[in-house]
Amino acid sequence: MKISIIGTGYVGLVSGVCLAAKGHKVICVDKKTDIVTRINNKEATIYEPGLDPILKQVVSNGNLTAVDNLRYAVMCSDVSIIAVGTPFGNGKIDLSYIIGCANEIGQILRDKNSYHVVCVKSTVAPTTTDTVVKSILETASGKSIGQFGLAMNPEFLREGKAVEDFMSPDRIVIGAYDDRSFNVINKIYKSKFKAPIIRVNLRTAEMIKYTSNALLASLISYSNEIASICEETGGIDVKEVLESVTLDKRFNPKKGAKLVNPEMIKYLRAGCGFGGSCFPKDVKALISFSESKGYTPDLLHATIDINETQPLRLVRRLEASLGSLQDKKIAVLGLAFKPDTDDMRESPSLIIIKELLLKKAKVFAADPIAIENANKALASDASELSFCADYKQALQDADAAVLVTSWPEFASISRDEFVDLMKNPVILDGRRVYDKSIMEEAGINYIGVGLEDVREVMCNE
């Protein structure tokens, strides 16, 4: 099929490249000519493992091109997929990009004689597609729904695994206004993907996306709340607690003699909290939407509150160990919100670093690929902040190290390296990747999320 994708950010580019790899003819649209040029030069404009080789292939074979001319893209395609950003700000989701895009597409459809389906892939609150987008398209085109199609096709892509998730999806959700709209979008996927295709109405498709992310985010905050209880009690390791809980067959059934170990249980792990482009934004947007309908979602409020205080809790524990943090050199290992991405949006590292700087610490932060984006995000706090591409530079003569992102190169740092590089090393393991006993055998003061030494608790009492 001929598909135009409006927006070449994370979702738009991955979707375009993967659909082109499945044999569709894809036109990616972006108003920024430098991005268009880079894509046509086979250069990925985002960091995502596995994306580069597929992009090179589909541009070379002509299945994907990029343009800055929306009219050309819509007129030359059967389906337009809207994949523009929907940021959250001022207490609500910002639909300005969606509104602008729908208006432009509608004006183009006024001059197009053939049937065309507009499909929203951007994450939007329920009622957005069937009210806001539909109304704009009808007004701008001078046509009634039915003369053009309307669909909502949410994405379920994990950063760092997006190509894998798109090419081998768990499910494909198609919200459709009518049969004809569904049949067109269904044709994109039916013969090319091995996954159940779920047909729902437009509002249900929108809600499925929000519900999925809100559930996973809630699991993370739940794990961190349990971790805090363990820390305050003493003598309990949250890692052992959650690992035992997830052996319950209702979480982790057996297939034959082996446990399935479903991906979901990975979200029942304590750590620094969640970040990225989806979870924080989507949970806040669902809260805002719910309250606009007169309902206060207390559980979702708690999910966000716990997540925002978790990084601060880590800094307080570090301060309790070191005393004053003023003039202390603190190594922050990891800036991106998770491994295999350079995404700094809502990363726990931002809260941790700002709090450390507020307490007059000298911060040396290391990350394999996110330094450029971190520098932009923290530019106003840069006086006592240094970025290091090499973790050894960050650890050299440091008073403490905080593991924020579990990059493999950080997770594999040996106890000997910590001892040799740092002063009287204190390690705050924000991802529980190090072995406490091995670290303590080397004389390292080890602090783990969800783990408090009984003697420290007794002293505090």
User: How many Cβ atoms from other residues are within 10 Å of residue 367's Cβ?
Assistant: 28
Distance CA 312, CA 316 (A): 6
Among candidate residues 28, 278, 388, 459, the one labeled active-site is 278
| Element of type H or E holding 128 | none
Residues 6+ apart with CB under 8 A from 125: 93, 206, 210, 285, 286, 288, 289
- Cα–Cα dist 31/229, whole Å: 50
Non-local (6+) Cβ contacts of 332 within 8 A are 349, 352, 353, 356, 363, 364, 365, 366, 394, 401, 402, 404
Other beta carbons within 10 angstroms of residue 233's beta carbon come to 11
Active site residue 278: yes
User: What is the spatial distance between Cα 418 and Cα 89, in angstroms, rounded to a whole number?
Assistant: 41
Distances (CA, A) of 329 to 351, 424, 446: 17, 12, 17
> Are the C-beta atoms of 415 and 439 separated by less than 8 Å?
yes
d(CA 222, CA 184): 41
Residue 194 tokens, joined: 């091995």
DSSP E strands in 55-116: the ranges are 64-67, 79-82, 88-89, 92-93
β-bridge partners, 92: 89
Which residues pair with residue 150 across a beta bridge?
118
Give me the helix-helix angle, 298-322 and 348-358, nearest 10°.
Answer: 40
Asked if residue 366 lies in contact with residue 388, where contact means CB atoms within 8 angstroms, the answer is yes
Are 63 and 24 in contact by the 8 Å Cβ rule? The answer is: yes
Look at residues 167, 209, 210, 117 and name the one whose alpha carbon lies nearest to residue 14: 167
Smallest Cα–Cα separation from 120: which of 136, 108, 107?
136
SS3 166: helix
Sign of CA dihedral 396, 402, 403, 404: negative
* Residues noted as catalytic: 278
